[in-house]
Structure 1
Amino acid sequence: MQLINTKKELKSYLSSQAKTKTIGLVPTMGALHLGHMSLVKRSIGENDITVVSIFVNPTQFNNKEDLEKYPSTLEADISLLKTASNKIVVFAPSSSEMYSGGITSKTYDFEGLDNVMEGEFREGHFDGVGTIVEKLLSLVTPTRAYFGEKDFQQLQIIRKLVKITNLPIEIIGCPIVREANGLAMSSRNERLSKELRKEAAYIYDILKAAKQKFGTKSANFVVEWVKEQFETHPNFKLEYVKIADVNQLKPVIRKNRNLKYRAFIAVYAGDVRLIDNIAL
């Protein structure tokens, strides 16, 4: 397994490979779990070379405390990756390596995709995401890049990023991987107490019930119903619930048979913020 820490070394390694080889990129912030591994395994199956980046990107955290609490587990991450393949290229740069000109974000026009849901509550978050993803895509120049649908809004923004930057890269969205109780896998789950982690199955249970109701009820009815369910649960604080079309991410006012929709949710379990979504 190749462990690379600098852009120069990564460029040198990739340029030494045959030009005809396909490259898959899996960008991560580390603290890897089976959700990440599903992306890695898909990349291995579809490409000659797989690059997994492990970098906690400071520009996408609007909460300094959240950044400080984000787990750093590089050795464990490498051990987990080895269970998939010994041929993975791990790129684990420092902040100064990725942001040599200063740790700041670019500003993008994502045509409103960044102003709803996560964008409402995390100012500047998607400019930070766009900045680091553009850096990684430009550096690795992969054939394909893999992102999980748990961060569905992020996935759509990255698809928009590739269009506006004219990068010839296929963006692959991969299904949400869940724990046995239905909780969407996330590095943040490690910060939950054993009891809260078990109880957090409630989030997915509510989403599944919302999906069922959406078949016969209006979007507004379903949203209000979800809010009521969390008002009665003592251990969770609902930050938002939205039903939006999957392309523009605009909240639905009246259902249109020609559009596809998802329900999106953000919930605090104690001081741990969890997000999830479900196709409707």
Structure 2
Amino acid sequence: MHIIKKIHTLHKKIKIFKKTKKKIGFVPTMGNLHNGHIKLILLSQKYSDIIIVSIFINPMQFNNLLDLKNYPKTFKKDCKILRNTGIDILFFPEINEIYPNGFKNHTFVNVPILSKIVEGESRPGHFVGVTTIVSKFFNIIQPNFSFFGEKDYQQLLIIKKLVKELNYMVKIVSLSTIRLKNGLALSSRNNYLTCEEQKIAPYLYKIIRKTSKKIIKENIDNRAEIINQSKLDLIKKGFLIDIFNLYDRETLNLSSKNSKKMIILASVWLGKTRLIDNKKIF
């Protein structure tokens, strides 16, 4: 595994790969790697000859400076994990390498509508930060494939739209959410949970599943009542709800009778930790 910090150094490697017609797979991360990241890397091996993983804590996608400061940094541990997976390159740039004049005045990439609704309404500017850094990495690395988890469903939808509308020659491959045995979706932010909160956190997905089953079993017209009851159940368990509703899977508009493919999206707080999860319906 080669650790590369400079864009021009990575460009030289990319040119060699392109000349030899190697298929490049790219897995973007912010580090603090867990089994979900490993599964993405293993998936990338099925598609790619060369696998590049990035670790970059992107300041542009944080709308809370304290959250940025406290984001877990585990580089040595991450390197050990990545060496064991057999990746070819770890791209680990400094902030100044990516944003030489600072990120606040940097050119940005915005996917309209989808970036401002649901999670985007609660976290203004977050998805602009995501799409800007993903665009930069796609330009730098020129991957044939890039891999994302479905836990961040809205992010995945936005990136697919970005790729389609900006004509990137990269195929987006998604991986179903990886969970602990108790149902909790793996996330770097789970490290923030206290011991007591770790016992409560799995109830988020349990209640999402229960909601899904009720919506499928009962008349869809009762979905508002079902959703409201689920919110009460979450509150009783100790969650503070930001988002919990049924949405159209393609537009992320609130689902209607005409919606054929739906998804429950949830963003909740448990103590100081923000947890997100989802489940597709139909």
Place the TM-score, normalised by the shorter chain, in its bin: over 0.9
- Structure 2 residue 151 is the aligned partner of structure 1 residue 150: yes
- Which residue of structure 2 lines up, in the alignment, with residue 160 of structure 1? 161
- Structure 2 residue 7 is the aligned partner of structure 1 residue 7: yes
TM-score normalised to the size of structure 1? 0.94
Contact in 1 for aligned 2:40/2:148 (Cα 8 Å): yes
- Which residue of structure 1 lines up, in the alignment, with residue 243 of structure 2? 240
Report which stretch shifted further, 198-207 or 97-106.
97-106
Q: Structure 1's 224 and 107: CA in aligned 2 closer, same or farther, altered over 3 A?
A: farther
What residue identity is the alignment partner of 2:8?
K
- Structure 2 residue 91 is the aligned partner of structure 1 residue 95: no
- Which residue of structure 2 lines up, in the alignment, with residue 20 of structure 1? 21
Q: How many matched pairs?
A: 276
Deviations 1:58-105 (A, max 9, x none): 0000111111110111111111112211x4310010111011232135
% identity of equivalent residues: 37
Question: After the TM superposition, which residues 180-259 of structure 1 pair with which residues of structure 2 at under 5 Å, given as runs?
Answer: 180-215=181-216, 216-218=218-220, 219-233=223-237, 235-256=238-259, 259=260
Contact in 1 for aligned 2:207/2:234 (Cα 8 Å): no
What residue identity is the alignment partner of 2:247?
A
Contact in 1 for aligned 2:146/2:171 (Cα 8 Å): yes
Q: Shift of the alpha carbon at 1:107?
A: 4.8
What residue identity is the alignment partner of 2:228?
E
Contact in 2 for aligned 1:181/1:198 (Cα 8 Å): no
Q: Shift of the alpha carbon at 1:162?
A: 0.9
Q: Shift of the alpha carbon at 1:220?
A: 1.8
CA RMSD across the alignment: 1.4
Deviations 1:237-277 (A, max 9, x none): 11111211111111113253xx2111000111110111000
Q: Shift of the alpha carbon at 1:14?
A: 1.7
- Structure 2 residue 125 is the aligned partner of structure 1 residue 124: yes
- Where do 5+ consecutive residues of structure 2 fail to align? none
Question: After the TM superposition, which residues 167-178 of structure 1 pair with which residues of structure 2 at under 5 Å, given as runs?
Answer: 167-178=168-179
What secondary structure is seen at the aligned counterpart in 2 of 1:161? helix
Q: Structure 1's 217 and 227: CA in aligned 2 closer, same or farther, altered over 3 A?
A: farther
Contact in 1 for aligned 2:241/2:267 (Cα 8 Å): yes
- Which residue of structure 2 lines up, in the alignment, with residue 268 of structure 1? 269
Return the alpha-carbon distance in structure 1 between the equivalents of residues 72 and 157 of structure 2: 26
Q: Shift of the alpha carbon at 1:133?
A: 0.3
Contact in 2 for aligned 1:241/1:263 (Cα 8 Å): yes
Return the alpha-carbon distance in structure 2 between the equivalents of residues 217 and 107 of structure 1: 44
Return the alpha-carbon distance in structure 2 between the equivalents of residues 255 and 205 of structure 1: 27
TM-score normalised to the size of structure 2? 0.94
Return the alpha-carbon distance in structure 1 between the equivalents of residues 43 and 120 of structure 2: 29
Q: Structure 1's 112 and 134: CA in aligned 2 closer, same or farther, altered over 3 A?
A: same
- Which residue of structure 2 lines up, in the alignment, with residue 84 of structure 1? 85
Return the alpha-carbon distance in structure 1 between the equivalents of residues 210 and 20 of structure 2: 49
- Where do 5+ consecutive residues of structure 1 fail to align? none
